[in-house]
Every structure is written in C-alpha cells, then in structure tokens.
Amino acid sequence: MRQWTAEQLDAITARERSVIVSAAAGSGKTSVLVERLIRIIADRDNPVPVEKMIVVTFTNDAAAEMKQRLSVSLSGLINDRPFDKWLSRQHAMLGNASISTIHSFCFDLIRDNINMLSLASDFRIIDETEENILKDSVLKDLVDGYYEKYPEMMEMLNNNFCGNSDAPLCRMILELYGCISSIPFFKNWLKGLDGQYDSNIYLQEYIKKLKNTLFVCSNKLNTAYEKASEISDDKLMTLLSDDKNIVNKALSVLETDDYEELSDYFSCVKYKNFPAAGKNYAYPEERQFIKKIRDSVKETVKSIADNRAMLVNACDDIKRHKEIMSALSQIIIEFSENLYKAKEAKNAIGFDDAEQIVLNLLAECSEDGKIIRTKLAEELSEYYQVIMIDEFQDSNNRQDMIFRLLSHNGSAEEYGNNLFFVGDVKQSIYRFRLANPDNFINAVNNAVPYKENDKRNSYIKLNRNFRSSEQVINFVNYVFKNIMTESVGDIDYNKNEYLIKGAEFYENNRNTHIMLIDKSDESCEDTEAVCIAEKIRRMLDEKISVSRDNGKSSRPCEMKDFCILLRNRKKIPVYARELEKRGITVSCEEVSGYLKSREVSVLLNLLRVVDNPLSDIPITSVMLSPMFMFSADEVAEIRLINKEHNIYTNLYDALGIENDKPIFSKEDMIYTKSKFLYDFINELRLLSTFYTLPELIQKIYDSTDFTSVIQLYKDSEKKKANLRMLLEYANSYELNSGNGLSGFIRYIDSVMESKGDFRSGNVSASSQNAVYIKTMHKSKGLEFPFVFIAETSTKFSIQDKLKPFQFSYDCGIGFKLQNKEKYEKFTTIPYEYICGYNQNKMLSEEMRLLYVALTRAKERLFITVNTAESEVGKAQEYAADIYMNQGITESLVSSAKSMGDWLLMTLLSHRKSGRLREVFGIYESYVNDDDFEISFEELKPDNDYETIIDTNEGKDSIEDNKISDRLRAAFEFKYDLKLSELNSKLSVSDVAKNDDSVNFILSRPAFMIESGKLTAAEKGTALHRFLQFTDFKNLEADFEKEKKRMLDFGYISQKQSESIQYEDIDAFLHSEIYEMIKKSCRTIREKKFLISINDLELENEFGKKYKGTGGILNGIIDMIIENEDHFVLVDYKTDKIDNLNIIAEKYKNQIFLYKKALEKIEKKPVKTALIYSFYKKTEIRIF
C-alpha cells in the first residue's frame, strides 16, 4: 500500500468543506485527486455515486487518464469486495461520469437543458478557423451599417485610430471583444468604465508610480554619493549632489500637481559631464560603480521627461477615452449579439459560447449589476455532491464563476462547501488564454489552514517533490526565493513555498550545470545549439547512468532521457538540425504549420486541380510530387508546348486526345506519366460529382499509394497522422457545410489568407527514443532525467506595448490616440498606466514559466549563460546593484529583459559562482549564504561534423567551409580509389546482398502499377506494414475487422489490404514466434537504427573494408521480442523458396548485422534469431 505524506492524507480525507490544495511541481497531485475520489465513492458510511460528481480537468487526455486510474482502482476494490453491488454499479457507471474538460462539461449541460435555449438539439461545435471567418463577416456588415446610422461616431473613431482604411479599427474591435467576452456579464463591466474615467484614478495612480520611481532614483544617488565619499572624490560628490537636486526638485514639483510647471522643468534639465579620471586614479572600480548608477538614473529621468506632454494633456485625453469607450461598447455589445445569431443560424457554437450559455443558465444579472443564481443553479448545486477542479490556477473569470454557482451554498461572490480545487499558482502560464491566477490566490486567501475540526473552507500545501533530485530542488528554491515576490510572480516564494525533497534515490553529485557560452563567436552561427548538441552526444557516448526502479538499479542514458526547452518555437529547427548532424534522433513540434506541411499541401493542390485543372501552380506542384514523379525538365517541356495555354490544355494536346496525334511518343516515359495524370484528374473530377469529400480523398490515397510513399520520409509517422487528419477535417466540413469540393477549397484558402491553421495529427511518442525539443509551455506536466534550459537570453515579448489599446480586467482600457491633422500618434495616461500593470503581469507569467521549465528535471539541470562581450556590462551592472542593496531588489528583478537576466542575477550572488564572476570581470560582489554546489563549464563549438544525410528525402546542400576545405585538400593530393568505392551510408539489406553495386529501389508510381495487382516485393511490404501496426489481440479475435480498422486509419491501402490473406496471418498466430510474443516482457516492431560501422567492431572482410572510414549503417529490424535478460530477433521473409537452408544462407549476414547493432545499442544480448517464412509458414532458426 502506498505511503502518503501527512499533507497528502489531509487532502485525501478532508470532508464537509471546500478544500484548496496548493500542489507544487512533482508533489503527486493527480494520485491524491484519484485517491480522494476513490475513498469518497467507496466510503462505507457516506458514499457518493459517480453520477453526482463533477471532475474538471485541463485536457481531454487528463480526463481519459483520470477515468482510467479510477477504473483500475475500483477494479482492485471490487476484487477485495466481490459481493459489493455498490462498487460494481459505480464501476459500471464510470463511463458516463462527468469527468471531462470544462468545455465538455458545458456542452453536456447545454444538451441536458436544450429546451431552455433557442439552439437545436443537434447543434455542432464550430471550428475556430470558421468562427474567425464568421467574426470578420459579421463585423464588416455591422461597421458598414454604422457608417450609415452613426456617421459622426464612426468619423470620431476613424480620426482616433485609422489612416486611409478602417482595418485598424476593425482589428482593434475584434481584439477588444476577445478580451472582454471572457468577463462574466461583460455589459455591466463596460458600464463601470465610465466611473473609472470620471474618477481620475488613472492620473492618480500614474503620479504615484512616478513618485516611487523618482524615490528609487534618489536612493540610488545616495548610495553612489556614499561610495564617492568613501574614496574622497570631491568632484564626484559635487556632481552627485547636483544630480540629487534635479531629482528632488522634480519630486517637489510633483507635489504641487502643476503638470505644466513639471513639463517646463523637465524640458530644461541638463546633466553635467562625468569628470575624467587622472592617469593614476586609485579607485577605478569604485568610479565605474558610481558611473553605472548615475547612468541608470539619467536614463530613467530622460524617460520621464520624454513623456511630459502626456501629463499636461492627461485630462483632455481621459475625456476622449470616455467618448471612445462609449462608442466601442455599443459596437461590441451589438457585435456580440449579431455574432451569436449568425452562429445560431448555422446551428453552431464555440467553446467561449458554451461557457457563456452555461453562465446564463446558472445566473441572472439585475439592472444594478447584482448576480443571482437561477432555479437551475439551485437544483444542480443540491444534486452534485462533489465538485473537483484540477489545474484551477488556469481557470478564467467566467469558469471561476461557474464553479461558484454550481457549488453547494455558493453564490457569484463566494465559494460553497463542496469544492475541491487542485493547482499551483507558480505554474499558471496561460495568461494569453485569459487564465487568471488571481482566482486561485483569492480562493486561498479566503480559506484557513486545514484543521480537521475546523469546517471552514481550508487550504493545504503539498510541497514535497517526488520527481527531482536534491540538487535540482536546491537550485529551484534558490532562484525563486531571490526573484519571486507578490509584485513579480504574484506570490512570495518563502519557506512555505519551498520544494521539499521527496525522492531519495538520485545520485548526490549531479550539481546544476551552468554552460558558459560566448555567443559572439563568429565561426559558428548557432553556437548555443552546437554546444548543447555536442554535450548530449558526449553524454550518450559516455553512457551516463540514469536511475530506475526508484534507485534500485541504473541503466545507461538513452536519447529519450534528454529534453531541450526553449521559450518559443523559432529555433527548434536549428537544434533539431544540430542534433541530427550528430546521429541523434529528434522529436519536436512542427514549426511550419499543418496546412503548409509538405504532404498536406500536395494533397490540397491535387484537390485544387480536381476543382479547377486550368490553374498552373497547383498542377505543377502535383506533377513534381512523389505521386506522379515528373522531373522539372518534363514539366517545362509540357509547359512550352504552347505558352498561351495552361498546362492542363497542353497535356490534352500532347496526348493527342482530340486527333489521336500525340506530340510525345507513346514509348516515352513522359507520355506514360502524362497519360496517367490526365486520366486520373478526369476520373477524380467525375467522382467528385457523387463522392463525398472523405471518399474522394481516400480514393487518392488508394490510387496513388501516397501514404506508403510517405513512409520513406523523415517523420513519416507525423506525415501519415497529418494525412489521416485531413480525412477528419474533410468529414467535419462535409457534415457541417455540404458545399462540396469547391466549398472546401474556398474554405481552406480563406483560412490560409487569414493566417489561420489546423491542428496537426497526433503521434504517440511514448515509445520514441529521441531527444525532445519543446517549448516551455508544451513541457508542462512532463519530466525528463536531463533538462537543458536553452536560449535563456531570448527577449521577453514587447508586442503588447505596440498594440493600439491596453486591456486589464482590474484596470480597464487605455488607448493610444492620434492627431490626424498632425500625422502623429501618442500614448495616454490610461494606456501607460495599464501597460505598466500588464507588463508586470507579463513578467510574473514569464517567471512562472521559468519555474515550470526548471521543475521538469528529474536528475540534472543544464542552463546556458551567454558570456559574450556585449553581456559584460549588464552583468557588472547587476553585480553593482546587488552589492549596493546587499541582495536582489524588486526593482532589479522588474528590470529584466529575459529569463537569462534573472538566472544571471541569482548566479552572480551565489557563493559558488566565483568562476562566473571572474568571467565577467566582477571582483567586488555580494554573496549570500547558500553553499550548495553548482558546476560551471566554458564551452566552445566544434562544428566539424559531417551531416548524416537521409537518402530518402532530398535536401538542399549547404556548404560547410571546414568540410569543403578538407575535401579540396583530399582532391589536391591523393585520391584513394578504394575508399571512393565505399558508400558513406549503407542499409543492412545492401550489405546482405554481398554485392559492391549500389541498389536504389524506388516505389513504383501509380501509373506503373497494373490495376488491382501488386508486385511480390510490394506484397511483402504490405505484410510488413500490417504486422507493424496491427493490434495482436484484435487480430486474434477478428482478422477481417482488424484489417478494416487498419485500412480506415490509413495504415494500409486498399490494394495492400486485398493482398493480405487470412491463411498467412492465421499460420503466424499459431507459430512458435507468436507464443514467444505472448510470453515476452514487450515487443518492438520495425526498430530503426543508425550506427557507425566502426562501433560494430566487425572482424570480417566487410568490417576491415570500412575500418576508419566513418561509414554509417542503417536498418530496420522487423521485430524484437524482449525478455528479462535477452532479446529474440525476428525477421519476416516472403521469398518463394522451398529450401529453408537456402533462405537461412541468403539472409544470415543480414541477421548477423542486426544482432551486432542491437546488442551495441541496447546493451542486452541477442540469444536467438529467427526468420519467419510466410511462403513456407514456418520458422527458421539462424542461431
């Protein structure tokens, strides 16, 4: 039985109140949540049925996992209590339990109460892209109408926001609507803005902030003056006294509220030059320290002076705000109503609509703004006995109110007493989705620390981390206790928030590793990516150990143990390229997008050709694709037949369709290709008149064998998943629109024009042995033994500062305005104040994102620090500020421009960072009391790697100067003819042929395949694919059903399906090999590998031939059966050879190479190797 900590047990057993669980990273919150649910369901005295529970998770995957865990736990209880009908019933009802995302819950609630709404019961969920297109259309109609009805209002708005077009105004309205619509009953919130503009609150808050800024400047100058006094520098003391007078005078003018006088004063401010130092100046470091402080004060004062006009015009600008907001409120409210009507007409609603509809079902808003629960809300709050919310820190304001209204004895203002919230404010990272961590903070603040006998709403902290090593935890605690406060981070990271070590089984010598990298190195463009790739390559080669079985044993590290985390996706391809150069497999997100992916764009272009064959660009793309395999010269030849005609018409003429006088000889390949293409297009055009969209696309897949060709490409699984998703999107469009192929193409084009995209296909990565490259956002919830925090110097986004408006639920709305006559734009006090507020919230979010990234590591953290010359000044400024204040101040934290700045601040003040301070030339510094070890390593790139080329997918070659220099040298002096005859990369099957010739086998294009027939080799490929992807349990139960499933999911084509015979599969299922499969620990199918031939240490002629050449061997093992202490290697053959000895002799070399490679890679012996002959339906033992 699992041992729970005292805090976990409290969270599991607390009853008769609402409980807020603040669960830190790695604290086992999901296990706690599941255990609590199980105990509530199985409680002998007061059980709760599953149908009276609401469990809300953040993702569908999390909901599915929750149901699975509950099912397993309930099954275990039923085994212990077999005659307990209650438990059996709850297990049976689990499938219908309300365990889902908030949106799924809302949609279910709407369907249950559809009689109260104007929606039809068969409403659909509108696609995000379709919704965006609809928004544009509805807004255009509305704005056009407003020009007629309210010309003066529209002129006023255009004068403030537009130039030659009203597009900026329309964009702003849509963005404002997106922000405002998440507010519960937002019409009342909009009405409240009038009071804010009337109250002068923006000006008051801005002046308060200005005073604080000047006070900080004054304190800095006092510190500088003290330092000048210590070294008795009279010139500096006089200079700093004058500087203090400038700041103090500004403060005194601010007290008078005379902004005209303040503006005049700032316009006259002039600073004296910093005095030069003599030749033998005794205190150069102190002098530099003083200069840096003075320069920062001057910069701050200059910034205030530059904005002085904003203060003078503040009152007039705020009056304009009130007029503008009155007009925009009217437009936004009417737009919201019209948009919903347009969706109703389509019988479709979006995710935001679902939340708003549920809110309207649960509450009514009176004229005075009071929100009252409806009768339905009262009934539901009595019905549901348990409401559990996971990842509560990521809820928005509307969702938070829904939870309040559903809770027992709850209201719009207060939480009831049957809620169970789980979350962690420190991991709230979805502000861009309007998540509001203040909801969680307020819930905690309105609760009391948990005590068993105190029935008030309570909070419990789970701070024990069972994921990470002590070194990782020490570093995380150290960083955030120094930078995370209520001002920046929304929470004070004190001892109550510290992570506490829960895992006892990691090695104690794996200190956080700081990689010092000079990114100004001109010899390497992507220095950081190169250094990290080399570090990972070395760790793999050195077989660094990884703990397993809770520390009972260890194993050599594998690629899947590493993860590189980046702030955004921009540099993912760079890191992927550098890793792949070093023979490292990579798993990463697509950067280009779904619709622009190669495989999807080819399919869409073919559909465009079917819809309109006269368009040259799509047909050219299709001709050059792997489907039809025209060369560029062949396309050009067809195009030049008649420059006045399009390609399709030229095809018609070239084939002699009208007069039977073809331009091309029927024996030429270009004629064969052209004939197939022309006939295929026309066949599809005919089929498109009565086929559904999914049927038409499936026809393309089957006829061209495109999905099989995709198998040859890098990321083939991802590409196949994308093609399957295209079928789903087509099916969804067909069901919801019915406008046929032309409508679908127009829809896709409109999505692309609006820079929209679709979700890519999902590929299971659970068994993928690859280095993961992820954005920090995508890493949430994951864990890896070794985590690299890369590109830490990536600047925080300043896009919000460029927007025409600033929005905050707490502060209102501020605008940048323009003077159309003077052609000038200017910021305003409301804009500047709200922008400052939002910038602070942005910094808090970035800090929490850094927390998420650092807490992904299980065994060791690797962090990069840029040591380029350009960074020295900044590091010295930080060190001076930290020294001056004897620690890191909130103002220093707020000045950060990147996560790297925060990490640099904390590292500079760490006792063990002497090497870092030395690199930056810092010799006087403040260090704190923490003394846990940190290791430092200065790295320089060694980019002298030959790229391993994937011969299955052509890439543009990029000259590497070092490699080309070596090649030139080789050609100038000595040419080794024997070496030239060796292939740099061989497949195992090439070697097995025992032939020096190079054999390239390409898939036959569709026009070369006889209708309805596959070659023997292609039948073998079909059988291999079937066995690669089949579910053996399904296969045993029903062969035809499993074959249909694989066909439906695109794993095999129609022709391949027809070639796979029941007799062959049935014989395999009754073989000795299949018995081994059923008894094994696991099986690995189609195991790809890439290995240096030298690493195999071959003693035969082949090994001697390639010794020292750097040759690479790649192959695919059909099946590996893994047992506890050994592997069994299996290879399928379809050769029609009666003599089994001949088969064994033919393939023994291939099997031998598989054995050597597998043993080298997996570090486990291969004891048995078998060939299964499908022709003879029997096994052949090689050894």
Does the pLDDT at position 29 exceed 50? yes
Range 605-753: architecture per CATH: Orthogonal Bundle (1.10)
Is residue 648 over pLDDT 80? Answer: yes
Per-residue confidence at 1109, pLDDT binned at 50, 70, 90? low
Q: How confident is the model at residue 890 (pLDDT cuts 50, 70, 90)?
A: very high
Confidence at residue 811, expressed as pLDDT on a 0 to 100 scale: 92
List the single range of 449-463, 656-670, 736-750, 1006-1020 with lowest mean pLDDT: 1006-1020
Which pLDDT score, from 0 to 100, does residue 1013 have? 61
Looking at the chain, the whole-number percentage of residues with pLDDT higher than 70 is 89
pLDDT at 413 over 80: yes
Higher local confidence (pLDDT), 324 or 1030: 324
Beta strands in 811-944 (DSSP E): 812-815, 817-819, 824-826, 857-866, 934-939
In this prediction, residue 737 carries a pLDDT of 63
What is the C-alpha to C-alpha distance for residues 428 and 359, in angstroms, rounded to an integer? 24
Q: Which residues contact 565 (CB under 8 A, 6 or more apart)?
A: 774, 775, 776, 779, 787, 788, 789, 790, 853, 856
**Residues 489-495, mean pLDDT to the nearest whole number:** 93
- Give the least confident one: 234-248, 452-466, 522-536: 522-536
| CA distances for 1175 relative to 639, 1043, 1138, 1172, angstroms | 48, 20, 8, 9
Strand partners for 562: 786
Residue-level pLDDT at 965:
45
Q: What is the mean pLDDT of residues 977-1001?
A: 42
| Domain 201-312: top CATH class | mainly alpha
Position 590 confidence tier, pLDDT thresholds 50, 70, 90: low
How many helices (H) and strands (E) the chain has is answered by 48, 32
* pLDDT tops 70 at residue 736: no
DSSP 790-808: --TTPBPP-HHHHSSEEEE
pLDDT at 1049: 65
Query: Among 93-107, 587-601, 986-1000, 1063-1077, which is the least confidently predicted range?
Result: 986-1000
H or E segment to which residue 371 belongs: strand 371-373
Count how many Cα atoms sit within 13 Å of the Cα of residue 259 in the half-sphere of its side chain.
16
Is the Cβ–Cβ distance between 807 and 179 less than 8 Å?
A: yes
The mean per-residue pLDDT over the stretch 68-78 comes to 90
pLDDT (0 to 100) of residue 559: 94
Q: How many CB atoms lie within 10 A of CB 774?
A: 22
Checking if the pLDDT of 223 tops 70, the result is: yes
pLDDT digits (tens, 9 = 90+) for 1020-1074: 888 888 888 888 888 888 888 888 877 766 677 778 888 889 889 989 998 999 9
Task: Please report which confidence band the pLDDT of residue 388 belongs to, taking 50, 70 and 90 as the band edges.
Answer: very high
> Which of 118-132, 159-173, 267-281, 639-653 tops mean pLDDT?
159-173
pLDDT at 998 over 70: no
pLDDT at 949: 32
Top-confidence range, 66-70, 437-441, 960-964 = 437-441
- What is the DSSP secondary structure assignment for residue 488, as one 8-state letter? T
Find the mean pLDDT for residues 907-932: 90
Domain 6-125+373-462 identical in fold to domain 605-753: no
The per-residue pLDDT for 80 is 87
Collapse the DSSP code of 436 into the 3-class scheme (helix H, G, I; strand E, B; otherwise coil) and give the result.
Answer: coil
Average pLDDT, the chain: 85
pLDDT of 935: 94
1004's CB contacts (< 8 A; 6+ apart) are 1015, 1018
User: Residue type at 394?
Assistant: D
Encode pLDDT of 790-799 as tens digits.
999 999 988 8
Between residues 341 and 981, which one has the greater pLDDT? Answer: 341
pLDDT class of 1161 with cuts at 50, 70, 90: confident
Highest mean pLDDT among 123-127, 337-341, 1027-1031: 337-341
Per-residue model confidence (pLDDT) at position 759: 64
> For residue 169, what pLDDT band results from cuts at 50, 70 and 90?
very high
pLDDT reported for residue 516: 95
pLDDT band for position 963 (cuts 50, 70, 90): very low
Kind and range of the H or E run holding 1181: strand 1178-1181
Superfamily for domain range 6-125+373-462: P-loop containing nucleotide triphosphate hydrolases (3.40.50.300)
pTM given for the model: 0.74
Q: Find the DSSP H helices in 231-313.
A: 234-255, 259-268, 284-306, 308-312
Domain ranges in the chain are: 6-125+373-462, 128-182+315-345, 201-312, 500-590+771-796+852-939, 605-753, 1006-1181
Going by pLDDT thresholds of 50, 70 and 90, the confidence category of residue 7 is very high
pLDDT digits (tens, 9 = 90+) for 696-710: 888 888 887 677 666
Q: Which of 411-420, 472-481, 531-540, 1057-1066 has the lowest mean pLDDT?
A: 1057-1066
pLDDT on residue 977:
34
In the predicted model, is pLDDT for residue 979 greater than 50? no
DSSP 1053: -
Q: Answer whether residue 1004 shows pLDDT above 60.
A: no
**Per-residue confidence band for 35, with pLDDT thresholds at 50, 70 and 90:** very high
List pLDDT tens digits, range 528-551.
999 999 999 999 999 999 988 777
Here the contacts of 868-877 (C-beta below 8 Å, separation 24 or greater) are 868/518, 868/519, 868/520, 869/520, 870/520, 871/793, 871/920, 872/920, 872/921, 874/901, 874/904, 875/904, 875/908, 875/920, 875/922, 876/288, 876/292, 876/920, 876/921, 876/922, 877/292, 877/296
Give the burial class of 133: count Cβ atoms within 10 A of its Cβ; 0-12 exposed, 13-18 middle, 19 or more buried. middle
For residue range 45-61, what is the model confidence (pLDDT) as tens digits? Answer: 899 999 999 999 988 88
What is the CATH topology of the domain spanning 500-590+771-796+852-939?
Answer: Rossmann fold (3.40.50)
Alpha-carbon distance of 84 to 93, in angstroms, equals: 15
1127 beta partners: 1122, 1166
Tell me the C-alpha to C-alpha distance, in Å, between residue 996 and each of 980, 986, 1148. Answer: 12, 11, 18
Long-range (24+ apart) CB contacts under 8 A made by 601-607 are 602/626, 602/627, 602/706, 603/697, 603/700, 603/706, 603/723, 603/726, 604/745, 604/748, 606/684, 606/700, 607/696, 607/697, 607/741, 607/744, 607/745
The CATH number of 1006-1181, from 3.30.413.10, 3.90.320.10, 3.40.800.20, 3.30.390.30, is 3.90.320.10
Rounded to whole angstroms, how far apart are CA atoms 29 and 871? 41
pLDDT on residue 406: 96
More confident residue, 1089 or 1020: 1020
Query: pLDDT exceeding 90 applies to what percent of the chain?
Result: 45
